[in-house]
Amino acid sequence: MLTAITRAFRTPDLRKKLLFTLGIIVLFRLGSVLPTPGVNSENIRLCLEQAQAGDAGNIYGMVQLFSGGALLKLSVFALGIMPYITASIILQLLTVVIPRLETLKKEGQAGQAKITQYTRYLTVALAVLQSTAFIALARSGQLFPSCTEPILVSEDIFPLVTMVVTMTAGTAVIMWLGELITDRGIGNGMSLLIFTQVIAVFPAELVNIYRQSPLKFVVVMAVGVVIIGVVIFIEQAQRRIPVQYAKRLVGRRMYGGTSTYIPLKVNQAGIIPVIFASSLLYLPQLAVTLFGNTENPNVIIEWFAENLVRGDHPVYMAAFFALIIFFTYFYVSITFNPAEVADNMKKYGGFIPGIRPGRPTAEYLNYVLTRLTAAGAPYLGVISLIPIVALAVAGASQNFPFGGTSILIMVGVGLDTVKQIESQLQQRNYEGFLR
């Protein structure tokens, strides 16, 4: 592998792409630690130290994870990649509901460019809403409930608007950096930025666990290696449905007669169900933060505070697992349409050996996909819950990188990037990473 990396850097154009990607990542991390104008950096540091022993970080766990720890620092890139992820998921769901978006999706590259433009607009709108919400929480003192230090230098309207504009512009710059990596670098730009934010908290959390107990550190590392191995095995697992294309005469040329396959992954939904479930469980926690400090809190708010705020509570874990199962089936059903796949196969003269074209093919694909999802959905739930239980025993925080979402992101993006570098090396007759 080291030899392959050396050969990659010896290739001028590939070395240029790798160095360009690393440069963008460094610039991205600098923006994550650059404070927003109007923020008292010293007081935020003190509040963060107090919050490490409390539950403040748990409330914003998912957004804090995708910001690489920059959210609670209120930096320029505080929102991270989360607004773009949310906008992409919303547009993907709306494609099934709105006929106009479905038509654009079928138009190929031109239609996809239009959907990408809509995603950018929605990302900026979500960034405005999220930055306004977090600055309002910081102004009211609810961003760090246990900290009495003033976070903002001034609470006048102009400095607050400046902060909202700065954080929104930071999100737009993140989108631009991701597209630069995709066009001129190696790998998918947005995925690499997410990967960078997730692993950014890795060293600090490892040091915290090691300071608590070297034995816990060894146990956590061993459990993490096992989980990574299992995730790699499942993520690479797929059911290949054989497809045979009949020969057909077009003009004077003969086409078809080839054999291929449809790869159906065990985890067809990726990490989207985990993000959906985490986001939905974030709402009760946010409700407790906003309305739980009143003199006469609502009965529902009290139940939320008792059962759905702590990640190690049995009710929270059961709800998390059930939501992951539900969203896995839901997301797979809207992203893979067996009837559409069967129609396309029939249109081009393709068929599955032993299965009649048309409706029987669609029923067969739906049957196989349902069985695969029956294994993939519990896998996502278990991977997301085991780290919560194990790391709660080890005393780690909710943002520890060995969490379910972190592992899935690190493994998925890592494998995809390695494959892209491998393909670049194979084009130049090098051995590459995989031997």
User: Is 412 inside a domain boundary?
Assistant: no
pLDDT for the residue 432? 46
Whether residue 183 sits in one domain with residue 57? yes
- C-alpha 22/C-alpha 67 separation (Å) is 18
414 lies in some domain: no
- Give residue 349's identity as a one-letter amino acid code: G
The answer to whether position 410 is within a domain reads: no
CA atoms within 13 A on the CB side of 54: 13
Domain of 246, in residue numbers: 202-398
pLDDT over 70 (residue 3): no
| Average confidence (pLDDT) over 192-206 | 81
List phi, psi (to 5°) of 244.
-115, 130
Mean pLDDT, to the nearest integer, of 382-397?
Answer: 66
Q: What is the mean pLDDT of residues 297-323?
A: 78
Buried b (16+ CB within 10 A) or exposed e, 292-330: beeeeeeeebeebbeebbbbeeeebbebbbebbbebbbe
Structure tokens at 61: 């766990």
Domain-terminating residue out of 136, 169, 200: 200
pLDDT the model gives residue 246? 74
Q: Are 233 and 187 members of one domain?
A: no
**Mean predicted confidence (pLDDT) in 406-423:** 80
Whether the predicted pLDDT of 249 surpasses 90: no
Q: State residue 430's pLDDT score.
A: 46
The answer on 388 and 360 residing in a single domain is: yes
Ramachandran assignment for 21, one of left (phi > 0), alpha (psi -120 to 50 degrees), beta (any other): alpha
Asked whether residue 329 is domain-assigned, the answer is: yes
How far apart CA 128 and CA 87 sit, in angstroms, is 13
From 200, 234, 256, give the residue that closes a domain.
200
Give the CA distances from residue 92 to residues 237, 329, 336, 341, 376, in Å, rounded to whole numbers and listed in that order.
25, 15, 12, 18, 21
Q: Are residues 147 and 273 in the same domain?
A: no
Distance of alpha carbon 415 from alpha carbon 42, whole angstroms:
39
Given a contact cutoff of 8 angstroms between Cβ atoms, the answer to whether 369 and 27 are in contact is: no
Distance, CA of 229 to chain centre: 19
Task: Look up the CATH number of the domain holding residue 357.
Answer: 1.10.3370.10
Integer Cα distance of 234 and 228 in angstroms? 10
Comparing 49 with 420, the larger pLDDT belongs to 420
Angstrom distance (rounded) from CA 239 to CA 377: 16
Q: Encoding tokens for residue 435?
A: 């031997």
Contact present, 387 and 402 (Cβ < 8 Å): yes
**Residue whose entry in the numeric block shows the structure tokens 């009965």:** 299
Domain count along the chain? 2
d(CA 8, CA 18): 9
Q: With 60 as the cut, is the pLDDT of residue 260 above it?
A: yes
